[in-house]
Amino acid sequence: MWDLEVALQDLGYELLAHHSPRHDSVPRKERPTLARWLKGTKTSRTSGRVFLIIAGNHFQVVSGRRYCCARTGKIVSIRDSMVKRRARVFEAYEVVKCDPTPNDFNNWNDIKRGYA
């Protein structure tokens, strides 16, 4: 389990593999590009659903037709020129709210204390 997944669980979210599991065994050229992944998930990508995609060696977040990553620095349309649509998708997850556990943080002060 990687740090991002642990942090999301602490905040009450979990990652669900979307469409296909890790592409470790799939050759790079056979993995879908971000453009193909976006086209293939067009009907399931509604504004209320959030997807975490690993493509182009970095994390990207997509919700509906909105896109954000460290390279863009802001929320943009999935059709924006800053979106590197030819990057190959390595993994794709849906971020969902999970049932609360006793370890969940109750408020922002607990979060600051827990990670300080």
**What would the pLDDT profile of 23-77 be if each residue is shown by its tens digit?**
567 777 888 899 999 999 999 888 889 999 999 888 999 999 999 998 898 999 9
93's enclosing H/E stretch is strand 89-97
59's enclosing H/E stretch is strand 58-63
Query: Does the pTM of the predicted model rise above 0.95?
Result: no
**Structure confidence at residue 105 (pLDDT):** 52
**Structure confidence at residue 76 (pLDDT):** 95
Residue 80: which pLDDT band, with cuts at 50, 70 and 90?
A: very high
**Structure confidence at residue 64 (pLDDT):** 92
Strand order in the sheet with 58-63: 13-17, 89-97, 50-55, 58-63, 66-69, 76-77
